[in-house]
Structure 1
Amino acid sequence: MQIIKDKQITDNTWTFVADDDALSNGDISVTLTRWKKDKERILKREGKIGIRLATSDEVADLAEDLDKINLIELEFPVFTDGRAFSQARLLRGRYHYQGEIRAIGGFMADQAFYLSRVGVNAFQLDNAEALNTALSTLNDFSVHYQASSN
Protein backbone atom coordinates (compact mmCIF):
# COMPACT_ATOMS: atom_id res chain seq x y z
CA MET A 1 0.00 0.00 0.00
CA GLN A 2 1.22 3.48 -0.78
CA ILE A 3 0.89 6.58 1.39
CA ILE A 4 1.81 10.24 1.19
CA LYS A 5 4.67 11.19 3.50
CA ASP A 6 6.37 14.59 3.53
CA LYS A 7 4.60 15.55 0.29
CA GLN A 8 5.74 12.46 -1.64
CA ILE A 9 4.03 9.21 -2.51
CA THR A 10 5.93 6.33 -0.94
CA ASP A 11 5.43 2.75 0.22
CA ASN A 12 4.01 2.09 3.67
CA THR A 13 6.59 0.12 5.68
CA TRP A 14 4.50 -0.13 8.87
CA THR A 15 2.20 -2.94 10.03
CA PHE A 16 -0.67 -2.44 12.45
CA VAL A 17 -0.89 -5.17 15.11
CA ALA A 18 -4.37 -5.55 16.61
CA ASP A 19 -4.76 -5.90 20.37
CA ASP A 20 -5.28 -9.66 20.24
CA ASP A 21 -2.58 -10.42 17.62
CA ALA A 22 0.93 -11.61 18.48
CA LEU A 23 3.67 -8.98 18.53
CA SER A 24 6.22 -9.22 15.73
CA ASN A 25 9.54 -7.63 14.88
CA GLY A 26 9.72 -4.82 12.36
CA ASP A 27 8.02 -1.46 12.31
CA ILE A 28 4.65 -1.92 13.99
CA SER A 29 1.88 0.24 15.37
CA VAL A 30 -0.45 -0.72 18.21
CA THR A 31 -3.42 0.88 19.90
CA LEU A 32 -2.92 3.10 22.93
CA THR A 33 -4.69 0.43 25.00
CA ARG A 34 -2.15 -2.21 23.92
CA TRP A 35 0.74 0.20 24.51
CA LYS A 36 -0.38 0.79 28.09
CA LYS A 37 -0.81 -2.94 28.69
CA ASP A 38 2.30 -4.33 26.91
CA LYS A 39 4.74 -1.39 26.86
CA GLU A 40 7.72 -3.35 28.22
CA ARG A 41 7.25 -6.21 25.74
CA ILE A 42 6.81 -3.79 22.84
CA LEU A 43 9.98 -1.92 23.75
CA LYS A 44 12.05 -5.14 23.86
CA ARG A 45 11.27 -6.25 20.31
CA GLU A 46 13.24 -5.19 17.24
CA GLY A 47 11.84 -2.41 15.09
CA LYS A 48 10.28 1.01 15.35
CA ILE A 49 7.18 1.70 17.42
CA GLY A 50 3.99 3.44 16.39
CA ILE A 51 0.81 4.17 18.32
CA ARG A 52 -2.66 4.36 16.80
CA LEU A 53 -4.90 6.87 18.56
CA ALA A 54 -8.66 6.62 18.36
CA THR A 55 -10.51 9.92 18.47
CA SER A 56 -11.62 9.10 22.02
CA ASP A 57 -8.00 8.64 23.24
CA GLU A 58 -6.35 11.40 25.25
CA VAL A 59 -3.02 12.63 23.81
CA ALA A 60 -1.88 13.40 27.37
CA ASP A 61 -1.89 9.65 28.13
CA LEU A 62 1.00 9.29 25.68
CA ALA A 63 2.96 12.45 26.55
CA GLU A 64 5.63 10.83 28.74
CA ASP A 65 6.42 8.20 26.10
CA LEU A 66 6.67 10.36 22.96
CA ASP A 67 10.47 10.04 22.86
CA LYS A 68 10.07 6.27 22.33
CA ILE A 69 7.54 6.54 19.50
CA ASN A 70 8.38 7.03 15.82
CA LEU A 71 4.85 7.15 14.39
CA ILE A 72 1.47 8.27 15.65
CA GLU A 73 -1.52 7.26 13.57
CA LEU A 74 -4.61 9.40 14.04
CA GLU A 75 -7.75 7.48 13.24
CA PHE A 76 -10.64 9.15 11.41
CA PRO A 77 -13.74 6.97 11.83
CA VAL A 78 -15.64 9.29 9.44
CA PHE A 79 -14.65 12.50 7.65
CA THR A 80 -17.02 14.57 9.79
CA ASP A 81 -15.23 13.66 13.04
CA GLY A 82 -12.60 16.36 13.53
CA ARG A 83 -11.17 15.33 16.89
CA ALA A 84 -7.99 14.01 15.24
CA PHE A 85 -7.27 17.58 14.05
CA SER A 86 -7.08 18.60 17.72
CA GLN A 87 -4.93 15.58 18.57
CA ALA A 88 -2.41 16.51 15.86
CA ARG A 89 -2.30 20.11 17.02
CA LEU A 90 -1.69 19.03 20.63
CA LEU A 91 1.07 16.64 19.61
CA ARG A 92 2.96 19.30 17.65
CA GLY A 93 2.13 22.39 19.69
CA ARG A 94 1.86 21.35 23.32
CA TYR A 95 4.04 18.23 23.35
CA HIS A 96 6.51 19.21 20.58
CA TYR A 97 6.36 15.76 18.98
CA GLN A 98 8.79 15.61 16.04
CA GLY A 99 8.01 12.15 14.63
CA GLU A 100 5.61 11.15 11.89
CA ILE A 101 1.93 11.91 12.40
CA ARG A 102 -0.22 9.97 9.95
CA ALA A 103 -3.93 10.44 9.22
CA ILE A 104 -5.69 7.13 8.58
CA GLY A 105 -9.26 6.09 7.94
CA GLY A 106 -12.26 8.05 6.77
CA PHE A 107 -10.87 11.49 6.00
CA MET A 108 -11.27 13.06 2.56
CA ALA A 109 -8.41 13.84 0.20
CA ASP A 110 -9.54 17.48 0.28
CA GLN A 111 -8.79 17.61 4.02
CA ALA A 112 -5.05 16.82 3.57
CA PHE A 113 -4.07 20.50 3.33
CA TYR A 114 -5.89 21.39 6.55
CA LEU A 115 -4.46 18.35 8.32
CA SER A 116 -0.96 19.40 7.29
CA ARG A 117 -1.58 22.80 8.87
CA VAL A 118 -2.07 21.17 12.29
CA GLY A 119 0.98 18.92 12.01
CA VAL A 120 0.04 15.82 10.04
CA ASN A 121 2.86 14.94 7.64
CA ALA A 122 1.64 11.56 6.33
CA PHE A 123 -1.65 10.33 4.87
CA GLN A 124 -2.98 6.81 4.41
CA LEU A 125 -6.15 7.01 2.37
CA ASP A 126 -8.72 4.22 2.17
CA ASN A 127 -9.00 4.91 -1.57
CA ALA A 128 -5.57 4.55 -3.22
CA GLU A 129 -6.89 6.32 -6.31
CA ALA A 130 -7.23 9.52 -4.25
CA LEU A 131 -3.48 9.72 -3.43
CA ASN A 132 -2.71 12.12 -6.28
CA THR A 133 -5.70 14.30 -5.40
CA ALA A 134 -4.62 14.50 -1.76
CA LEU A 135 -1.04 15.24 -2.80
CA SER A 136 -2.18 18.09 -5.03
CA THR A 137 -4.26 19.67 -2.23
CA LEU A 138 -1.17 20.09 -0.07
CA ASN A 139 -0.24 23.07 -2.25
CA ASP A 140 -3.73 24.59 -2.54
CA PHE A 141 -2.92 27.81 -0.70
CA SER A 142 0.25 29.88 -0.48
CA VAL A 143 -0.96 32.56 1.94
CA HIS A 144 -2.19 31.78 5.47
CA TYR A 145 -4.03 33.98 7.95
CA GLN A 146 -3.56 31.76 10.99
CA ALA A 147 -0.47 30.35 12.66
CA SER A 148 0.07 26.61 12.22
CA SER A 149 2.38 23.72 12.96
CA ASN A 150 3.94 23.70 9.50
Structure 2
Amino acid sequence: MQKIIKGREIVTDNWHLLPKETTFEEIPNTDNVIIPVALWLEHGHALTTRDGRLGVWLDSDEEPESIADSLEHFQVIAINFPAFTDGRGFSYARLLRERFGYKGEIRAIGDVLQDQLYFMQRCGFDAYVIRADRDPEAALAGLNDFTVTYQTGADQPQPLFRRRLA
Protein backbone atom coordinates (compact mmCIF):
# COMPACT_ATOMS: atom_id res chain seq x y z
CA MET A 1 0.00 0.00 0.00
CA GLN A 2 1.15 3.52 -0.68
CA LYS A 3 2.21 6.08 1.92
CA ILE A 4 0.41 9.42 2.20
CA ILE A 5 0.71 12.50 4.38
CA LYS A 6 -2.25 12.81 6.73
CA GLY A 7 -2.50 14.79 9.94
CA ARG A 8 1.11 16.00 9.58
CA GLU A 9 2.52 12.49 9.53
CA ILE A 10 3.20 9.78 6.99
CA VAL A 11 0.72 6.92 7.18
CA THR A 12 -0.22 3.89 5.13
CA ASP A 13 -3.21 4.62 2.92
CA ASN A 14 -6.09 2.19 3.41
CA TRP A 15 -8.26 3.63 0.63
CA HIS A 16 -8.47 2.48 -2.99
CA LEU A 17 -8.73 5.24 -5.58
CA LEU A 18 -10.83 3.90 -8.44
CA PRO A 19 -10.12 5.19 -11.96
CA LYS A 20 -12.68 7.06 -14.07
CA GLU A 21 -13.27 3.97 -16.22
CA THR A 22 -14.62 1.99 -13.25
CA THR A 23 -18.15 0.70 -13.68
CA PHE A 24 -20.70 0.32 -10.90
CA GLU A 25 -20.42 -3.47 -11.03
CA GLU A 26 -16.65 -3.30 -10.42
CA ILE A 27 -16.91 -1.46 -7.10
CA PRO A 28 -16.03 -3.82 -4.23
CA ASN A 29 -18.64 -4.00 -1.47
CA THR A 30 -16.37 -4.07 1.57
CA ASP A 31 -13.25 -2.05 0.65
CA ASN A 32 -12.76 1.61 1.43
CA VAL A 33 -13.06 3.19 -2.00
CA ILE A 34 -12.77 6.67 -3.47
CA ILE A 35 -14.96 6.70 -6.57
CA PRO A 36 -15.14 9.17 -9.45
CA VAL A 37 -17.87 11.76 -8.96
CA ALA A 38 -19.67 10.56 -12.12
CA LEU A 39 -20.29 7.17 -10.47
CA TRP A 40 -21.75 8.88 -7.42
CA LEU A 41 -24.02 11.08 -9.52
CA GLU A 42 -25.30 8.06 -11.44
CA HIS A 43 -25.53 5.43 -8.65
CA GLY A 44 -25.50 7.42 -5.40
CA HIS A 45 -28.44 5.73 -3.72
CA ALA A 46 -27.13 2.21 -4.37
CA LEU A 47 -23.63 3.18 -3.20
CA THR A 48 -24.90 4.19 0.24
CA THR A 49 -25.85 0.57 0.97
CA ARG A 50 -22.26 -0.71 0.63
CA ASP A 51 -20.48 -2.20 3.64
CA GLY A 52 -17.16 -0.39 3.04
CA ARG A 53 -16.47 3.28 3.61
CA LEU A 54 -17.03 5.68 0.72
CA GLY A 55 -15.14 8.61 -0.70
CA VAL A 56 -15.46 10.56 -3.92
CA TRP A 57 -12.93 12.33 -6.10
CA LEU A 58 -13.36 15.44 -8.18
CA ASP A 59 -11.33 16.24 -11.25
CA SER A 60 -10.34 19.85 -11.79
CA ASP A 61 -13.30 20.43 -14.13
CA GLU A 62 -15.90 18.91 -11.75
CA GLU A 63 -17.17 21.44 -9.27
CA PRO A 64 -18.00 20.67 -5.62
CA GLU A 65 -21.55 22.00 -6.02
CA SER A 66 -22.40 18.71 -7.75
CA ILE A 67 -21.98 16.82 -4.44
CA ALA A 68 -22.87 19.57 -1.96
CA ASP A 69 -26.15 17.91 -0.96
CA SER A 70 -24.46 14.53 -0.38
CA LEU A 71 -21.44 15.38 1.77
CA GLU A 72 -22.64 13.31 4.75
CA HIS A 73 -22.05 10.14 2.72
CA PHE A 74 -18.32 10.74 2.19
CA GLN A 75 -15.51 10.13 4.66
CA VAL A 76 -12.99 11.38 2.08
CA ILE A 77 -13.20 13.87 -0.75
CA ALA A 78 -10.17 13.76 -3.01
CA ILE A 79 -9.42 16.61 -5.39
CA ASN A 80 -7.29 15.86 -8.42
CA PHE A 81 -4.54 18.21 -9.56
CA PRO A 82 -3.88 17.12 -13.18
CA ALA A 83 -0.94 19.55 -13.33
CA PHE A 84 0.76 21.52 -10.57
CA THR A 85 -0.19 24.70 -12.46
CA ASP A 86 -3.94 23.97 -12.17
CA GLY A 87 -5.11 25.85 -9.07
CA ARG A 88 -8.84 25.13 -9.18
CA GLY A 89 -8.48 22.48 -6.47
CA PHE A 90 -7.46 25.16 -3.95
CA SER A 91 -10.78 26.92 -4.47
CA TYR A 92 -12.70 23.65 -4.33
CA ALA A 93 -11.24 22.82 -0.91
CA ARG A 94 -12.18 26.25 0.46
CA LEU A 95 -15.69 25.91 -0.89
CA LEU A 96 -16.09 22.48 0.68
CA ARG A 97 -14.87 23.71 4.09
CA GLU A 98 -16.31 27.21 4.27
CA ARG A 99 -19.44 27.29 2.12
CA PHE A 100 -20.60 23.70 2.43
CA GLY A 101 -19.25 22.96 5.95
CA TYR A 102 -17.55 19.67 5.10
CA LYS A 103 -15.69 18.32 8.16
CA GLY A 104 -14.23 15.08 6.75
CA GLU A 105 -10.89 14.48 5.06
CA ILE A 106 -10.03 16.51 1.98
CA ARG A 107 -7.20 14.81 0.11
CA ALA A 108 -5.00 16.24 -2.66
CA ILE A 109 -4.20 13.73 -5.43
CA GLY A 110 -2.46 13.97 -8.78
CA ASP A 111 0.47 16.28 -9.46
CA VAL A 112 1.01 17.23 -5.80
CA LEU A 113 4.41 18.67 -4.87
CA GLN A 114 6.09 19.79 -1.64
CA ASP A 115 5.90 23.49 -2.56
CA GLN A 116 2.10 23.35 -2.59
CA LEU A 117 1.40 21.59 0.71
CA TYR A 118 1.46 24.62 3.00
CA PHE A 119 -0.97 26.51 0.76
CA MET A 120 -3.19 23.47 0.35
CA GLN A 121 -3.38 23.20 4.13
CA ARG A 122 -4.43 26.85 4.33
CA CYS A 123 -7.29 26.07 1.92
CA GLY A 124 -8.60 23.09 3.89
CA PHE A 125 -6.67 20.03 2.72
CA ASP A 126 -5.57 17.65 5.46
CA ALA A 127 -4.22 14.70 3.45
CA TYR A 128 -1.84 14.58 0.49
CA VAL A 129 -0.82 11.90 -1.97
CA ILE A 130 2.60 13.04 -3.13
CA ARG A 131 3.60 12.37 -6.72
CA ALA A 132 5.18 8.91 -7.07
CA ASP A 133 8.58 10.26 -8.12
CA ARG A 134 8.88 12.40 -4.94
CA ASP A 135 9.77 11.56 -1.36
CA PRO A 136 6.87 11.97 1.11
CA GLU A 137 9.35 12.42 4.00
CA ALA A 138 10.90 15.44 2.30
CA ALA A 139 7.48 16.78 1.27
CA LEU A 140 6.24 16.67 4.86
CA ALA A 141 8.57 19.57 5.63
CA GLY A 142 6.50 21.69 3.23
CA LEU A 143 3.76 21.96 5.83
CA ASN A 144 6.13 24.01 8.01
CA ASP A 145 7.32 26.50 5.40
CA PHE A 146 5.86 29.45 7.32
CA THR A 147 5.17 29.95 11.03
CA VAL A 148 2.87 33.00 11.00
CA THR A 149 -0.08 33.76 8.75
CA TYR A 150 -1.53 37.22 8.27
CA GLN A 151 -4.68 36.35 6.37
CA THR A 152 -7.58 34.14 7.29
CA GLY A 153 -7.76 30.64 5.87
CA ALA A 154 -9.62 27.39 6.30
CA ASP A 155 -7.03 26.45 8.93
CA GLN A 156 -7.05 29.85 10.73
CA PRO A 157 -10.34 31.80 10.66
CA GLN A 158 -8.93 34.94 12.33
CA PRO A 159 -6.41 37.34 10.80
CA LEU A 160 -3.20 38.09 12.71
CA PHE A 161 -4.36 41.46 14.06
CA ARG A 162 -7.42 39.83 15.68
CA ARG A 163 -5.28 37.08 17.23
CA ARG A 164 -2.91 39.70 18.67
CA LEU A 165 -5.82 41.63 20.23
CA ALA A 166 -7.06 38.50 22.01
Matches within 5 A, 1:63-142: 63-127=68-132, 129-142=134-147
**Corresponding residue SS for 1:134:** helix
Quote the Cα distance in structure 1 between the aligned partners of 2:134 and 2:3.
10
| One-letter amino acid of the counterpart of residue 138, structure 2 | T
**Corresponding residue SS for 1:103:** strand
Contact 1:109–1:130 (CA under 8 A) maintained in structure 2:
no
1:128 is displaced (CA, Å) by 5.9
Contact 2:113–2:131 (CA under 8 A) maintained in structure 1:
no
Which stretches of structure 1, 4 residues or longer, exceed 4 Å deviation after superposition? none
Instruction: For residues 99-141 of structure 1, give each alpha carbon's deviation from its aligned partner in whole angstroms, at most 9, with x where no partner exists.
Output: 0000001122110010000000000012264211221111111
| One-letter amino acid of the counterpart of residue 50, structure 1 | G
- Could you tell which deviates more after superposition, 119-128 or 71-80? 119-128
Mapped pair 1:23 → 2:27: yes
Quote the Cα distance in structure 2 between the aligned partners of 1:81 and 1:128.
19
TM-score (norm 1): 0.95
Distance change >3 Å, CA 17–CA 127, structure 1 → 2 = closer
**Corresponding residue SS for 1:136:** helix
- Could you tell which deviates more after superposition, 27-36 or 17-26? 17-26
Quote the Cα distance in structure 2 between the aligned partners of 1:124 and 1:111.
12
Mapped pair 1:8 → 2:12: no
Quote the Cα distance in structure 1 between the aligned partners of 2:122 and 2:138.
17
Instruction: For residues 24-81 of structure 1, give each alpha carbon's deviation from its aligned partner in whole angstroms, at most 9, with x where no partner exists.
Output: 0221011111101111221111111100100111111111100111000000000000
Contact 1:14–1:29 (CA under 8 A) maintained in structure 2:
yes
Mapped pair 1:60 → 2:61: no
Quote the Cα distance in structure 2 between the aligned partners of 1:40 and 1:143.
44
**Corresponding residue SS for 2:144:** coil
Q: Identical aligned pairs, as a percentage?
A: 34
Quote the Cα distance in structure 2 between the aligned partners of 1:128 and 1:50.
25
Q: How many residues align?
A: 150
- Could you tell which deviates more after superposition, 69-78 or 20-29? 20-29
Larger Rg: 2
Quote the Cα distance in structure 1 between the aligned partners of 2:121 and 2:71.
20
TM-score (norm 2): 0.86
RMSD: 1.2
- Unpaired runs of at least 5, structure 1: none
